[in-house]
Each structure stands twice: as C-alpha cells, then as structure tokens.
Amino acid sequence: MYNVIEAFKVHIMPTHFKVLAELCEKLEETTKRTLMVNMVADFLKTLKSEEVEPAVSMILGRAFPSWSQQTLEVNWTTLGEIIRRITNVNWETFTSAFSKTGDIGSATKTVLENSMLKRQALLFAKTLTISEVRQNLEKIAETVGHGSREKKERIVEAMLSSASPVEAKYLVKIFIGEMRTGFHEGLMEQAVSKAFQIPINDVQHASMVLGDIGTVAAIAKAEGRKGLLKIGFKVFRPVKLMLAQMAGDIAEALREHGGKTAFEYKLDGARVQIHKQGENVKIFSRRLTDVTESLPEIVEIVKRNLKAEEAIIEGEVIAVDEDDNPIPFQHLMRRFKRVHAVGDAVAAVPVKLYVFDILYADGQSLIKLPYNTRREILAEKIGDIPMPVQLVTDNLEEAERFLKEAIDVGHEGLMAKKINSDYVPGIRGKRWLKIKPTLEPLDLVIVAAEYGYGRRHKWLSDYYLAARDTETGRFLTVGKTFKGLTDTEITAITESLRKLAIKEEHRRVFVIPKIVVEVAYNEVQKSPKYECGMALRFARITRIREDKTPEEADTIQRVREIYERQFLKKGKIKLQNKQ
C-alpha cells in the first residue's frame, strides 16, 4: 500500500504536490491495475476535502475539472524557453533526454537533475502544495489581455523554479495535458469507490451525470454515498456524450440490436450539446467547449422553438449551401473557431441544426428511458427544429435502400440506435452503431512531421500518424502520409505543429501529440517498420478533427482488430480457393 503521509498529519497539514508527483511516478512504473487502484485509493484517503478534486484532475493530467471552460493557453514553446532559463542547459541536452524516453516530462526531470547543484538553494526555498498548484493554474487561466503572455510566463517560471525534478516532470505534464501513466478514468472510478467505500455502480453513475470523476471524488469524500445518490443534471454543466461503435454493415447492426433497430441519417457535421434555462442558451461542442458565441443563429432557433423551461438536448450542426444541401465538414469548423466578426461567418457559412436526443427536461433526468421514448418526448418539445430522418425496421433490404438514400442526399451513412436502449454518458458501446459504406476511417494523432520538397519545402507536409495504446497511454505510429490536405490547411497545420515542436532531426520535427486527423486507407498490413507491427496502406488525411481530443483518437487495439478482421476474411477466401 502507498502510505504517503502519517494519518494524524493529514488533518493539520496541506498535502505537498511532491507526494502527488511521487505517486504518479510509481503509477508510471506499475503495470498491475489492481495495485495502481490500491495506491491511488490509499492516497485519496489522506487528502483534505478541498484537495481531492484538484488531485484527481492532476493525476489524470488535467489542470481543471472536465466541465471547466478554463484553459491555460501555455504552449510548448513557452515552456521550453522557461526550462532553458532556469536550467541553463544546452537545448541539445533536452532533446537527447527526450530521444531516450519519448516523454517531455521525463526529459524535463533529467535536465533539472543535471542542473541540481546550481538550483539547490531554490529547491528548499518553498514547497509547493496541491492547493497552491491549483491556485497558480487558475491564475494562469485567468490572465488575459495585454501583457498576459509575460504574466503567465512569470507564474509558470516561479512554479518550475520551486519544483524538484520529479515535481517539474508532472507539472509539465499537467501544463500540456499529457500524463501517460496508464492510469485512466475508469481506474480512477475504482479508486474512488475503494477509498470511500462506495459501490462502484454509484460512482460510475455519478461520474456519468457530472461528467467529471474529480468532482465525484470530492463529493464522496465530503458526503459519502448519500451525497452521490443526490447528484442530478445541472443545466450549463456539460455532460459527457454517449458514443457509438462502428458496424461493418446493415446486417451486423440488425443482428446486434436483436433483429430490429432505428436507423437515422448520419450527418457530416459537428455534434453539439445544448443547454437551456429560461431565455439563456449555451451550446457545447463534442469536446464540451462552450461554442455559443460562434453559433448565434442556433441560439435563436433554440430560444424560439424549444418548449421547456430547462432542458439538455443533443444534436448535430451541419454546414449547408444556399439550397440547404450539406457541404464538407471543414467549412463548418471555420464557424466553430470564429469568435470575432461572427456576422460575416454566418453569411459565409450558413449552418443548420438537427436534434436527435434529450437527456433532461424541467427537473427530470430522461437517460434511463428507452431511446424511442426519448425521441417521442424530444419531438414534442422542439417545435420546428428538424430531427434526422429515421427508419425503424427489421427488413434488411429496406434498410440497405435507406443507406443508399442517405448517401445520395450527401450524408455519411447511417446511425443504428437500439430502440429500447438507455443513454449512457461517456460510454462507447453497441447501443449506437455507425454504418459507413467505405472502409472505416481512423482518427489518429500527428506525432511528428517532415518538411516537404519542391514548393512544399517550407511546410511540414509529411505526417507521422499514431494511435493511442490503452494499456500504456503512449501513441504508437501506424503510418505516414503527405496526402489529403489543401495548401491552406497545410499552412495552418505547419504553424500549429511548430508551436508543439519538441525537437528536430534533419527535416523531421517531433511534436506533442495534440492534433487529431481523420485518416482513410486501403488496408491495415503487417509491418516491421513500426513498433506496433502494423502500418496503414495508402493512408490519406480526409479532415482535421478539431472537435476531438487526443484521448478520443482511435486506439492501437482498434487498429489491431481491423487488421485481424480483414486477415480472417482473406484467410477464408484462400481456404475457399483451395477446396
């Protein structure tokens, strides 16, 4: 067990951040999940109530709770400059350390250890506590306007100057949101359950409703199980979205859903969660970011039509042309990024809202109701707001005609939703299935890029694509491509990647894994070239997924499943040919 501090001290002394950092170090070295859960549970027991949420968030690599709209806006370039200043090391020393570990935090720890003697007096000048780290993070997030960059830098530099090497390692990881200890949210739910002796189902349900396990842990510490059982939806606090799995075809969807299901057009848009209270409306993106200001016409549509004093509904915003036909996703993303001159954007890129689910209305949670019942309630409350076209059927041929119809009118494919399924926030399962007529694309993260040749010599235009390993949290490269993006997109992504650059080797730049792209490919093939043993054949980027975080990217486990599935099909063909 991980006894970090004597129990009698806990009630009178704040917890040092170094204790949390050392716990994370032990988690990183541990592969046994039960041991990891026990270590974190023992740690949570020792914390003061006000330390619980910040500590849980930090262990998961977050500066703030999931629902918070606060952002640090501290990029790697700024952090790199600060590390250079406080250590006086040659930057080649840092890049060498990074090459050995592939981890920015570990490289930071190494260079600080190398400059230890120079910093010895500073190390004991001040000891950071968990609460002080959170307060400083809040100061950074609240610093805006003229001179804000310099003010942010001073706060960050003061924190790193006071930190021991192991503390600095995890501060940097929190700054850039990349923890990689292998301890994910599901394990944290188990740790909270064990620490406060609350059934895991109660913890998971509260986490679904609140959308943040750190907030759940704080309530569990202060109020126990009774506190968690009182938790309900709160308007303007975004809820994690229910996610869908991919189905190979219509037949698979019908089979998974017991022979009959509800098919809907799969719209090529951006998913939104809309909250209404009286005349106040807020719109949250798939990443739970407040995008209300970017979509003023959607706000007005909701105000005019939604017949509820309080409600949380879900929908899809698509970009349309002058004839109301859907246009490509990248045009829509321009709207979501626009906070200035919104009026010009409204005229240039018209958008349309479709709604497809309702989670909460006038004090009542609806997520335990069957999907068809929720849709009926939604239809009664949305006035003239359209819903995606739906077909409820058990007929394979009828469903396949419906899929062709969806493609013909410009949509991606179909969603299949199990008629009697409840809504499970934050869970990807088979209650909802995606059906696309092409080989399923992958959402991958750019981990490195190379400068092009010829007219592209100034651009980072050849990208290394990686999938996330759920076991380790690492991003493993599965392919490389220079295809798919326009010159405008390449110019913009080059600027973004330079800000995320960690080191350069000749024409190759290694970056913090932050940018998610959707990738099409012909097949997954076996390859000794990459550590994962697989590679995408003829990979090409089809869109930049600014609506997705790296944590939402596809996993190496899914890539392996696709490989094995296609391999089995090919094996069957070979066997048939031999007979």
Just give the CATH number of 442-566: 2.40.50.140
Task: Please work out, in degrees rounded to the nearest 5, the angle formed at the alpha carbon of residue 239 by the alpha carbons of 238 and 243.
Answer: 130
Q: Between residues 145 and 398, which one has the greater pLDDT?
A: 398
**The token pair that represents 28 in the structure block:** 């990183």
- Is the pLDDT at 57 greater than 80, yes or no? yes
Partners of residue 244 on adjacent β-strands: 429
Q: Band the pLDDT of 431: cuts 50, 70, 90.
A: very high
Q: Between residues 13 and 357, which one has the greater pLDDT?
A: 357
- This prediction's pTM: 0.79
Query: Which amino acid would we find at residue 458?
Result: K
Name the catalytic one among 266, 417, 514, 548: 266
Structural contact between residues 256 and 247, judged by C-beta atoms closer than 8 angstroms: yes
Give the pLDDT confidence of 340-388 residue by residue, as tens digits.
556 666 667 889 999 999 999 999 999 999 999 999 999 999 999 999 9
Q: Assess whether the region 7-61+182-229 and the region 76-176 belong to the same CATH fold.
A: yes
Mean pLDDT of the chain: 87
Q: Any catalytic annotation for residue 514?
A: no
Looking at residue 347, its pLDDT comes to 67
Alpha carbons 249 and 74: distance in angstroms, whole number: 44
H/E element holding 92? helix 91-101
Give the pLDDT confidence of 490-509 residue by residue, as tens digits.
999 999 999 898 888 878 99
Nearest CA-CA partner of 497 in 519, 514, 472: 514
Q: Between residues 453 and 247, which one has the greater pLDDT?
A: 247
Alpha carbons 377 and 360: distance in angstroms, whole number: 10
Q: Band the pLDDT of 278: cuts 50, 70, 90.
A: very high
Question: Is domain 7-61+182-229 classified as CATH 1.10.3260.10?
Answer: yes
- Is the pLDDT at 193 greater than 70, yes or no? yes
> By three-state DSSP, how is residue 429 classified?
strand
Q: Where are the domains of the chain?
A: 7-61+182-229, 76-176, 243-435, 442-566
Looking at residue 65, its pLDDT comes to 93
Looking at residue 125, its pLDDT comes to 52
Give the pLDDT confidence of 245-260 residue by residue, as tens digits.
989 899 999 999 999 9
Distance spanning both ends of the chain, measured CA to CA:
59
Q: 76-176: which CATH architecture?
A: Orthogonal Bundle (1.10)
Nearest CA-CA partner of 25 in 40, 14, 41, 5: 40
Q: Band the pLDDT of 569: cuts 50, 70, 90.
A: very low
- CATH class held by domain 243-435: alpha beta
Residue found under tokens 């939104």:
272
Choose the weakest-confidence range: 185-189, 330-334, 517-521, 539-543. Answer: 330-334
Q: Band the pLDDT of 6: cuts 50, 70, 90.
A: very low
Nearest CA-CA partner of 493 in 453, 541, 454: 541
